[in-house]
Amino acid sequence: MICNNCKQSYDDNLNACPYCGAAKAVTDNIPPQQYGQVPPQAYQANSPAKGTATGSLVCGIIAIAIGVFVPLAGLILGIIALTLGNKAKCMLPADQRGMATAGFICGIIGIVIAVIFWIINAVVAASMLSYLYY
């Protein structure tokens, strides 16, 4: 078998080229219309989940950005990102969970940043108060 893409020869039993990943040339016994029918339906079924995943990622990024300045807002957005990310992960098939997972992780980072800066703010406020009093 010679790869159509990179011209390397490889084992006939493989379904794809091990050098560049290009699929083996399609043989005549598979009707091409079988490929065309499935993706639009799958896309339709997954689009609300994709919206949820996008929302999760956006909330997570904003949570990280805002958590430094307004820890309470960052905490709330982080929890929203975590909830949406988790929901989207349940709705999407395993190979399409990238954005949902990213949103989930951003939510966790957002919450951690919010908590850390909340503590820093409290410590700074306490040390400023003690500086004023002593």
Residue nearer to Zn ion on the CB measure, 5 or 47: 5
Q: Round to whole Å and give the CA distance between 116 and 12.
A: 57
Q: Name which of residues 96 to 125 contact Zn ion (CB under 5 A).
A: none
- Name the region of 3 (left: φ>0; alpha: ψ -120 to 50; beta: rest): beta
The reply to whether 43 sits near Zn ion by the rule CB under 5 A is no
Shortest Cβ 26–Zn ion spacing (Å) = 15
Q: Name which of residues 1 to 20 contact Zn ion (CB under 5 A).
A: 3, 5-6, 17, 19-20
Shortest Cβ 12–Zn ion spacing (Å) = 14
Judged by CB under 5 A, the number of residues near Zn ion is 7
User: How would DSSP label each residue in 75-93?
Assistant: HHHHHHHHHHHHHHHHHS-
In the block, residue with structure tokens 């006939």: 12
Three-state SS for 9?
Answer: strand
Q: Round to whole Å and give the CA distance between 60 and 104.
A: 7
Residue nearer to Zn ion on the CB measure, 23 or 116: 23
Residue nearer to Zn ion on the CB measure, 18 or 48: 18
Residue nearer to Zn ion on the CB measure, 21 or 98: 21
Shortest Cβ 21–Zn ion spacing (Å) = 7
From first CA to last CA, the distance across the chain in angstroms is 83
Query: What does the binding site for Zn ion look like in residue numbers (CB under 5 A)?
Result: 3, 5-6, 17, 19-20, 22
